[in-house]
């Protein structure tokens, strides 16, 4: 399919794609695919006001009815899966399978949120006073700002939006400047859903802000945006937190990862190999959950690492929309430069680099295709502590499991982690309080490719937020503690006497 067919399939019109000054390029060949009109800070203010007005209405709609909106959204996404999946590929360069997988994540979280709309449960609590009842109620919070990154242009929006919408919160989406087209296409889907849903879906329930960071700042600074959920770099997350904290606004942050795998002597090496390759080179190493570090036990190092290099040698790299490709391009030339710089520094720090380097530059002079790199490191030097958003895998040897866990935890980020081992003592140790310090810790699967049913997010520089499944919905509601006195007395708690 041609690029223009993909854009048309996703229902983007010439009017959407032209007439503005935000130039959008496809990493597939570096060509320009749109010039989008952008919003001003004043537009953002007006949209926030609209979202707030929508909140005042939406909070009155019963939660299961709000769930119906998300059910329709999920159905429409099912119908649009192929079109949106191809657009994700075109816009951010991930292979079509992964583009489709990302849309499937949107569908999955919609299904989850529909059920949730009938399960926004609060507790009943035993009161210490006679004739008193206590309970917790969960109420809508207000407009929810969602800031997303280029590498997952649609799924993280849906993890937030599907929950926020059933929780009673309108959503304003600020996508990455590098991948705004999928956001526009999804907004079209939402508009169709809104038409089908009926008049009790207020105008402004979902909106998209196109432009750069000053629009994000307009949201973080505005008290009418009750929650800002942001996915992206650590500096971006710090800026969001700094702007939200003076007004004590709620943030949900999902930031950098520097995810590790420990391969123990008892590991199934065949499985470990496949997991390493998928999670290190999938999405060309541009997932926040990408595998960046492997600690291999010295007894199995020579059995695993040469095979890994072999597997890397055979990787089909190229057009992400073509059948059979497993590794697409990096998002842009800047990302390639960052990769080259990191490899250079790794060499200086004693690393032995296998692979890496630009390819396909003759056929694709404006695109950033690279060979994924494996770097054998004598230890976890400075560069290994950094997240370089590229397919660089640092491989280190270990002897003692606790040392490997200490190395794993010694980086600033705390998103995802895993161990390959068939020794239950080791795996349970890894998952225990003295094991992995990450928000996600897996056994015998890689660190990436999480399902929506679990809470997604991590600790330390990763930001501490949780999105998606489990009880992450509580981040989009306010908790109210209720004490109800149905007696004819007015006893005080803690037995305090205060007679007048």
Q: Which residues are catalytic?
A: 254, 288
Secondary element (H or E) of residue 84? helix 81-92
Of 448, 457, 461, 463, the residue at the interface with ligand UN1 (CB under 6 A) is 448
Q: Does 371 bind ligand UN1 (CB under 6 A)?
A: no
Which CB atom, from 244 or from 452, has the smaller least distance to ligand UN1?
452
Count of residues making up the chain = 500
462 is an interface residue for ligand UN1 by CB under 6 A: no
Site for ligand UN1 in 82-111 (CB under 6 A): 105
- Phi and psi dihedrals of 317, rounded to 5? -110, 135
Which residue number, 194 or 229, has a Cβ lying nearer to ligand UN1? 229
Residue 267 CB, nearest distance to ligand UN1 (Å)?
21
Tell me the residue ranges of DSSP E strands in 116-193.
124-125, 132-140, 143-147, 171-174
The answer to whether 110 and 345 have CB atoms below 8 angstroms apart is no
Single out the residue of 117, 151, 194, 442 in contact with ligand UN1 (rule: CB under 6 A). 151
Half-sphere exposure (Cβ direction) of 482: Cα atoms closer than 13 Å: 13
* Close Cβ partners of 302 (under 8 Å, ≥ 6 residues apart): none
CB of 286 to ligand UN1, least distance (A): 8
Name which of 146, 150, 160, 65 is nearest 110 in CA terms.
160
Q: Is position 288 an interface residue for ligand UN1 (rule: CB under 6 A)?
A: yes
Residue 408 in contact with ligand UN1, rule: CB under 6 A = no
Instruction: Pick the binder of ligand UN1 from 69, 152, 301, 389 (CB under 6 A).
Output: 152
Q: Is 150 in the site for ligand UN1 (CB under 6 A)?
A: no
CB 152, min distance to ligand UN1, A: 4
Please identify, using beta-carbon distances, which residue of 138 and 473 lies nearer to ligand UN1. 473
Beta strands in 348-474 (DSSP E): 352-355, 373-376, 392-398, 413-414, 416-420, 440-443, 455-456, 459-460, 467-468
d(CA 314, CA 487): 76
Q: Which is nearer to ligand UN1, 403 or 451 (CB)?
A: 451
Q: For residue 219, which of 242, 203, 236, 240 has the smallest C-alpha distance?
A: 240
3-state secondary structure of 165: helix
Task: Catalogue the long-range contacts made by 136-139 (C-beta closer than 8 Å, 24 or more residues apart).
Answer: 136/479, 136/480, 136/481, 136/482, 137/479, 137/480, 137/482, 138/167, 138/474, 138/477, 138/478, 138/479, 138/480, 139/59, 139/168, 139/477, 139/478, 139/480
* Residue 358: strand pairing partners: 370
- Closest distance to ligand UN1 from the beta carbon of 292 (Å): 12
Count the site residues for ligand UN1 by CB under 6 A. 11
Q: Select the span of 133-141, 282-290, 313-321, 472-480 touching ligand UN1 (CB under 6 A).
A: 282-290
Which region among 69-77, 129-137, 148-156, 185-193 touches ligand UN1 (by CB under 6 A)?
A: 148-156
From CA 36, how far away is CA 278, in angstroms rounded? 34
Three-state secondary-structure class, residue 137: strand
Residue nearest to ligand UN1 (CB): 450
Please say which residue, 204 or 449, places its beta carbon nearer to ligand UN1.
449
Question: Which of 387, 426 has the CB closer to ligand UN1?
Answer: 387
Long-range contacts (CB closer than 8 Å, 24 or more residues apart) made by 464-470? 464/253, 465/229, 465/251, 465/252, 465/253, 465/254, 466/252, 466/439, 467/156, 467/159, 467/160, 467/163, 467/229, 467/252, 467/254, 468/109, 468/112, 468/159, 468/163, 469/109, 469/112
Q: Applying CB under 6 A, which part among 119-127, 306-314, 444-452, 475-483 lies near ligand UN1?
A: 444-452
Cβ closest to ligand UN1, residue 204 vs residue 463: 463
Q: What is the dihedral of CA 82, 84, 87, 92, to 10 degrees?
A: -110
Q: Which of 142, 449, 464, 469 binds ligand UN1 (CB under 6 A)?
A: 449
Candidates 158, 176, 231, 251; binder of ligand UN1 (CB under 6 A) is: 231
Q: Is 435 in the site for ligand UN1 (CB under 6 A)?
A: no
Tokens read off for 219: 């949201």
Closest CB to ligand UN1 among 287 and 397? 287
Asked whether position 237 contacts ligand UN1 by CB under 6 A, the answer is no
Tell me the closest approach of the beta carbon of residue 392 to ligand UN1, in angstroms: 16
Listed ranges 91-99, 185-193, 281-289, 375-383: which one lies at the site for ligand UN1 (CB under 6 A) = 281-289
Whether the CB-CB separation of 164 and 144 falls below 8 Å is answered with: yes
Interaction between residue 182 and ligand UN1 (CB under 6 A): no
Q: How far is the CB of 449 from ligand UN1 (least distance, A)?
A: 5
Residue 96 vs 120, nearer CB to ligand UN1: 96
Q: How far is the CB of 40 from ligand UN1 (least distance, A)?
A: 28
Choosing from 34, 218, 450, 472, the residue that interacts with ligand UN1 (CB under 6 A) is 450
Stretch that binds ligand UN1, among 80-88, 112-120, 263-271, 447-455 (CB under 6 A): 447-455
Which of 320, 405, 392 shows the shortest CA–CA distance to 360?
320
175 lines the binding site for ligand UN1 (CB under 6 A): no
* CA–CA distance, 14 with 159 (Å, rounded to integer): 29
Of the candidate residues 158, 206, 243, 289, the single one contacting ligand UN1 (CB under 6 A): 289
| 459: Cα separation from own chain's centroid | 14
- Which residue, 39 or 174, has its beta carbon nearer to ligand UN1? 174
Distance of alpha carbon 219 from alpha carbon 44, whole angstroms: 8
Which chain residues interact with ligand UN1 by CB under 6 A? 105, 151-152, 156, 231, 287-289, 448-450
């Amino acid at each position: 399919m041609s690029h223009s067919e993909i854009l048309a399939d996703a229902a983007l019109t010439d009017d959407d794609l032209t007439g503005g000054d935000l130039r959008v390029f496809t990493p597939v060949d570096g060509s320009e695919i749109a010039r989008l009109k952008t919003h001003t800070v004043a537009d953002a203010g007006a949209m926030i006001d609209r979202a707030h007005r929508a909140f005042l209405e939406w909070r009155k709609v019963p939660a299961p009815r709000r769930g119906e909106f998300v059910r329709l959204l999920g159905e429409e996404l099912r119908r649009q899966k192929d079109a949106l999946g191809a657009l994700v590929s075109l816009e951010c360069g991930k292979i079509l399978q992964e583009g489709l997988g990302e849309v499937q994540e949107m569908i999955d979280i919609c299904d989850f949120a529909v059920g949730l709309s009938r399960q926004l449960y609060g507790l009943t609590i035993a009161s210490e006073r006679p004739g008193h009842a206590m309970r917790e109620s969960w109420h809508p919070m207000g407009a929810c700002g969602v800031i997303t990154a280029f590498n997952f242009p649609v799924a993280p929006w849906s993890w937030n939006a599907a929950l926020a919408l059933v929780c009673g919160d309108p959503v304003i989406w600020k996508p990455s400047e590098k991948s705004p087209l999928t956001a526009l296409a999804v907004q079209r889907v939402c508009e169709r859903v809104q038409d089908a849903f009926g008049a009790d879906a207020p105008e402004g329930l979902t909106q998209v802000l196109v432009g750069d960071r000053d629009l994000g700042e307009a949201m973080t600074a505005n008290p009418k945006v009750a929650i800002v959920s942001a996915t992206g770099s650590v500096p971006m997350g710090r800026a969001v937190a700094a702007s939200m904290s003076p007004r004590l606004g709620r943030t949900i942050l999902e930031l950098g990862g520097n995810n590790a795998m420990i391969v123990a002597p008892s590991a199934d090496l065949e499985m470990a190999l496949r997991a390493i390759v998928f999670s290190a080179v999938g999405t060309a190493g541009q997932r926040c959950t990408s595998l960046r570090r492997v600690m291999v036990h010295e007894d199995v190092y020579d059995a695993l690492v040469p095979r890994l290099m072999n597997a890397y040698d055979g990787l089909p790299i190229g057009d992400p929309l073509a059948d059979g490709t497993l590794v697409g391009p990096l998002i842009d030339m800047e990302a390639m430069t960052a990769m080259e710089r990191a490899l250079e520094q790794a060499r200086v720090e004693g690393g032995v680099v296998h692979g890496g380097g630009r390819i396909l530059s003759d056929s694709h002079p404006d695109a950033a295709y690279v060979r994924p790199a494996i770097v054998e490191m004598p230890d976890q030097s400075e560069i290994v502590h950094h997240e370089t958003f590229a397919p660089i895998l640092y491989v280190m040897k270990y002897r003692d499991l606790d040392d490997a866990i200490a190395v794993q935890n010694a980086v600033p980020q705390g998103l995802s982690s895993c161990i390959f081992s068939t020794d239950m003592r080791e795996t349970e140790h890894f998952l225990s309080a003295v094991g992995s310090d990450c928000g996600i810790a897996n056994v015998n699967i890689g660190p990436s490719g999480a399902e929506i049913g679990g809470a997604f997010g991590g600790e330390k520089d990763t930001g501490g937020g949780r999105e998606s499944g489990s009880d992450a919905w509580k981040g989009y509601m306010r908790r109210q503690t209720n004490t109800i006195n149905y007696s004819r007395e007015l006893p005080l708690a803690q037995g305090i006497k205060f007679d007048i």
